[in-house]
Amino acid sequence: MLTLYTQVDEMIASLADRVAVVTGGNSGVGLEVVRGLVSTGHRVVLACRDIDRGRAASRAVAASLPSRSNDEAVLVAERIDVLPLNLSSLASIRAFAARVRDRYDGIGALVNNAGLVKPGGGLSADGHELHFAVMHLGHFELTRLLLDLLRRGQTRSGRPSRVVSVSAWGHRLAKPDFDAVRRADPNAFRAYCRAKLAQVVSTRAWAKQIPENEVAFFSLHPGIVRTNLAGDLGGLAQRTFELIAVTAAASAQLPLYLAQEPDLERWSGEYFSYRTFQRSFGHAPSRASRYADDPALQRRLRTLSEELSRV
């Protein structure tokens, strides 16, 4: 029988055939998360808006991983299931979740990675502020719809499933004006930070609702990730960016750690930062916004999310 990799240790064997769902997995950090999960034996559902780009990403991952034959490379590619998902549309989210439920009977990890910054703002297909709709509301609804599969994944594997939400340090700059999510916001940075704050607050709320021995929830700042935009900065700004920025592959190590590392359940609900993760003994959590621990705010956000998603 063909093996996918030249070396298979006990960790890979224990993770083999666990299913992971990754949103925005066709580029950047999301693509590196897909690559890392496949390399440890996961079957990955790569969710993205553009199905052709998703398939191209799937082929790129298969081509980049060690294989001893073309047949083995094909086996790697077959472990990536590309499905369309538009997080700005509740109808698309529900259709995606239905497809996942039809194909799989359990999920070991859900990585809520997809994000955007749209200058000038805009509204989602359902009439909600676009950044909030994609990065918080869409992921909230997706998590809710896949929660039964996450619980079954825990039952099958004997270890809690994980929900890992990629937030950002900018969440600490936001104020919780969640009434603003009912209209477009022309200030894309403000809307982005508000949506990232919602992800952190929601992670805390999910962790209170779901026992940590069933599903563990984490949010994170992936670091300042190096992109092609750096070349447009020029001068001192460009040199500073290049000094502090990290590659997508390096940034992906944190969500991969939170999705796979055993015995992290005691930190369910916590927020992690890439720099703290790299420097701290034991990879301890980082400090989140003071709003994250506000129980009234957690309840208000959950009520609003259920209302906007028409639960």
Catalytic (active-site) positions: 192
Nearest of 6, 5, 1, 102 to residue 45 by alpha carbon: 102
Instruction: Say which amino acid occupies 125.
Output: A
**Number of Cβ within a 10 Å radius of residue 164:** 26
Give me 231's structure tokens: 């070349």
Helices (H), 210-273: 235-244, 248-251, 253-260
Cα–Cα dist 223/205, whole Å:
24
Give me 266's structure tokens: 């005691």
Q: Are 31 and 42 in contact (CB under 8 A)?
A: no
Q: What is the largest CA-CA distance in the chain?
A: 57
Cα–Cα dist 310/290, whole Å:
29
User: Does the CA dihedral 129-292-19-223 come out positive or negative?
Assistant: positive
Cα–Cα dist 59/62, whole Å:
5
Q: What are the start-end ranges of the E strands in 157-242?
A: 161-166, 215-221
Give the helix/strand (H/E) hosting 279: helix 274-279
